Amino acid sequence: MNPLFKIKSHIHLSDVGQDAKIRLGNLVDKFQNAGWIHFQELQKRLPSMDPRLLYFVVSQKVDIHTVPSLNEPVVLQSFITDANRFKITRLVEIRDAAKKLIASQIEDAFVVNKLTGKIARLPENYPIHLMVDDLKKLTFHRDKIDVPAGGHQTESNFRVLPRDVDNYGHMNNARYLDLIAEHPDRIREVSINYLHPAKLGMELEYLRTQVDQSVFYTVRNGKQIMSKIKLALK
């Protein structure tokens, strides 16, 4: 199949910083929104999932080629590139009006039982093949992030508020990037490992470490590591 999903959008005033260019968290919001709408459209053509099951994203990788500016028209394309009973891989691309690639995101998600928090699986007869785009050949790719020990660290804090929480009761993944100090113009690539879902009221501590052209963020709730972020700078 070729179940391509495509929507048109543009860069809103609420997406940009003082330089009129999109902020990192808002860029990822674009990916998340397209992926979410795409999945809802797919669900209309597929059997209903057990309401206890959800997809928990365990990794994201964002490549930034150019940073879009205020009012710039963009086209978002979403593809499920690989899927089985346990997990899916999704690619979302953002292109300009001339169809030139601006940025792309690959994310991997496991099927999880939201009551137990444990990895689950879809039924054996679930028609998973109807989700997958046959023209895209990207499989599960999670890159494990190892934060260097002993480097100089700076710290900031963030409390999860109601506006940060998504439909699953977890903090929206894009909100992890709101405290990133680096501007998208400086970033070539973002990789994120999600270990545990952040929830309403949690106090998240960000520890930043830079080694040459790589910047690492460890996000903790108390002693528990929630996620690890790696930025490759230009």
Residue 4: the pLDDT is 64
Residue 163: the pLDDT is 92
Question: Does the pLDDT at position 3 exceed 60?
Answer: no
Q: Which amino acid is at 25?
A: G
- Residue 184: pLDDT band with limits 50, 70, 90: very high
Closest to 232 in 3D by CA, of 130, 123, 145: 145
Residue 194: the pLDDT is 95
- Residue 188: pLDDT band with limits 50, 70, 90: very high
Average pLDDT, the chain: 91
Percent of the chain with pLDDT over 70: 97
pLDDT per position as a tens digit, 6-28: 899 999 999 999 999 999 999 99
Residue 1: the pLDDT is 54
pLDDT per position as a tens digit, 155-180: 889 999 999 998 778 899 999 998 89
Closest to 136 in 3D by CA, of 99, 96, 91, 189: 91
Listing from the earlier edge strand, what are the strands of the sheet with 214-221?
Answer: 5-10, 73-83, 87-95, 101-113, 53-64, 187-194, 224-233, 214-221, 203-211, 153-159
Closest to 60 in 3D by CA, of 30, 21, 96: 30
Residue 8: the pLDDT is 92
Question: Does the pLDDT at position 61 exceed 90?
Answer: yes
Question: Does the pLDDT at position 219 exceed 60?
Answer: yes
Of residues 66 and 167, more confidently modeled = 66
Residue 228: the pLDDT is 96
Question: Does the pLDDT at position 137 exceed 80?
Answer: no
Question: Does the pLDDT at position 2 exceed 70?
Answer: no
- Give whichever of 136-145, 147-156, 201-210 has the largest mean pLDDT: 201-210
Q: Which amino acid is at 174?
A: A
- Residue 218: pLDDT band with limits 50, 70, 90: very high
Going along the chain from its start, the domains and CATH numbers come out as 1-142 (3.10.129.10), 144-234 (3.10.129.10)
Segments of the chain assigned E as strands: 5-10, 53-64, 73-83, 87-95, 101-113, 153-159, 187-194, 203-211, 214-221, 224-233
